[in-house]
Structures are given as C-alpha cells and as structure tokens.
Structure 1
Amino acid sequence: MPSTMKGPGLFLAQFAGDAAPFNSLPAITKWAAGLGYKGVQIPTWDSRLFDLEKAASSQAYCDEVKGICTEAGVEITELSTHLQGQLVAVHPAYDAQFDGFAPPAVHNNPKARQQWAVEQMKFGAKASKNLGLKASVSFCGALAFPYLYPWPQRPAGLIEEAFSELGKRWKPILDVYEDNGVDVGYEIHPGEDVFDGATFEMFLDAVGGHKRCNINYDPSHFLLQQLDYLEFIDIYHQRIKAFHAKDAEFN
C-alpha cells in the first residue's frame, strides 16, 4: 500500500439528512469515524454540514470545521462542488431538472443560475485553500451530452462549438483555482460532456491544457460504459488527483 494511503474515506453527500446523526457536521463525522472511516469528502451545497461562502472568506470558520473533524477522528479529503459545477454549463433541455440543484431565487432563470454556480465554484477554490486542501472534486456540466447519439444527424461543428463554450466558461474558474493552489478533479461521468478519455482530452484542449484541470477517478462509471478502467489509469495517471470507489455491475 502506498505510504500516502491513510485509510478509507466517505463522501458525506449520500448520507446527509434531517435526522440525527446525519444533520450536522459534528454528528455525521463522529458517525463516520465510528464506522472506521479516516477521511470525509464534504458536499459544499448542504448547509446542514457546511457554509461554503463563509469558508471562502473566514479562516476562523475553516479552522473550526477542521477542529470538528479532528475531534471526531477524521480529516477532510476534499470539498465537493459537484452540483454547482454541473450548473456552470446546462443545456436548455435540462433546465427544469437542474433547477433543483440551485437555490429557489435563481429558478427559471438560467443566466442567474449560471452566475450563482460560477461564484460558488470560486468560493470552492478559496475555501479549499483556507482548509489547507490541494484538490477539490466537481462536475463539468453538459452542453453537448444531449447529442451523444447521432440521430438526428448533428450539424458539422456542433460538438466542437459546445466544447469551445465549455472551455470559455471553465477557464476563468480554473484560473482562480490556480491562484489558490488547488486542483479541480472532474468526475468523468455519463451525463457530463466529459464522460471518457476522449472527451476529457477535448475539454483539456478547450481550457488550454490548464494545469488545474484534472480528474476525480471513479471506475464504476467506466464499467457501466464498458470502458477499460485500468488502462485509463496508465494513460491519465498524471491528471488523477482524487478518486471514488463504489460497486457497479454491468448487466
């Protein structure tokens, strides 16, 4: 086992809820530690557990959060901005579905929703730095995914245009992460424009090979797409900055 491996970690997003011990950071981290977990990945959109805007501006608050985790017996592995990252780039076909990821004040207003998401992503960079973290995890969003299956036939240049726009939206965000010394590990996932190695390379090209454009590796999504998840590590290991692990079965 690599010397950097400290033990199992848990993404808290799937467990957060209104009932104890899942409704506060002190309680859920003690619960996770009691199950043997050594690290937690914190969902930044869940106000029951974390205040992202406050974390971006207050070192004292971040020290308090770290103290809560330390007292429970876990450490923070990364902050997750999956839902906010998704909203950086939303195809209009998905507007109704993805409004649920945003606060009610920006529902039915795609422009305001995107502006909120971009601001949230920038908060994520600053909060990560304040917490002493070197990587965060997110989604890239989807402008082209509705056109995955080529029927009706796609007009020439449609996908290239979508990735160009995706790059324009993310490049300034990645610059903020560079300023704060934090990598963004995009989870390569069906439903995102980046769902395999080829699309990751297209996105990387669209952001000019940005050093902060990296990967949150989750082989479960590769298995369900019948991709070679081991060869992917051989090819892209230098860009893998975080990982998820969960069961998947192809039927």
Structure 2
Amino acid sequence: MTRMKGPGIVLAQFAGDGAPFNDLASIARWAACREHPRGQINDDPPHFARQMFDYLDFIDIYHARICAFHVKDAEFNATGRQGVYSGVQPWLKRAGRFRSFGDRQVDFAAVFSKLAEYGYDSWAGPEWECALKDAEQGASEGAPFITHHIIAVTDKAFDDCAAGVTDDAAKRRLWGITS
C-alpha cells in the first residue's frame, strides 16, 4: 500500500538568520537533501489554475513523473481590464493570484484523490504564497489541511466480502433466509 508523505515544508520560505536555516549547506545537512532523478515534476496545481490549465488532466498525463507536490491555492478573477497576463499589477489586484490552502478555487479533494489513485507516495508540502493571509496563520493551517486531505489507500475492494461466500446455504444463513 502506498501513501503520500506530509506535510512537508518549503524551507526557503522560512530561511532566517539563525542556524540551521541561515545558509544552504546547513539547511541541506538538516534536511538530509539528496539529488532527485532528472526529468521529474513538482506538481503545483495553483500555477495551472492561474493560467486556466486543467491541473487534474495534467496529473492524469504526467503522474509517473510527479515527485513532489506543492499545496497552496489560487484564484482567477478576470475583469474587463485584465486576464491571465496581469503581472504588472500588485498581487492584491491581479486577476490570478495565490491564496492560502482551501481558500479559493483548487479542488484539493480531487487533486489528492488523483495522486492517491496513481500511487503517489512522496511529499505534499505546504507552500504559503497567499496575497491576503498572514504567513503565520497560513503556516498553522497548512499542516492540518494536508493531513486532513491525505488518503490512506485501501488494499482491498469495497465488495471483497461478496467474493468469500459461494455456498448457497451459507448465503441464506448469512442473510437470515430460512426457506
């Protein structure tokens, strides 16, 4: 049985002046980083949502190459003045902007289900890039959000119980049929 790992953490977003987060070598030792195989994908659904891509279809197509998964949300609110390419606006005024986990338009139940369906067993890491919510609030909500969405994949079918009884008399007894 495979199961997604998580929640992970994007260390660069929390780098600071104190050890071990004050230089890359210390962070790498702390996290025991190793080089991932080439040609792998970090799945980041909100980037697709902001560009009007189908992030669920992307998982169907490229699931074998997905080795990491960033969890954050996004929204796309086009206006008569801006659409996908509204990058010159401040983040609060962009049509497409990142949001905190579960606050907007990414269907996380579907994303986690797709990844579970394909046996994804690597990390789901919160990536806080919200245009509105405070980082500390977002971080405190991230781990429980991911934990809630991780699916423990079953190793049996829901109807396996029906396959075990083949004796007609045993079936009648089981169902309480006396004649």
TM-score normalised by L of structure 1: 0.28
Relative contact order higher in (CA < 8 Å, ≥ 6 apart): 2
TM-score normalised by L of structure 2: 0.37
More helix by share: 1
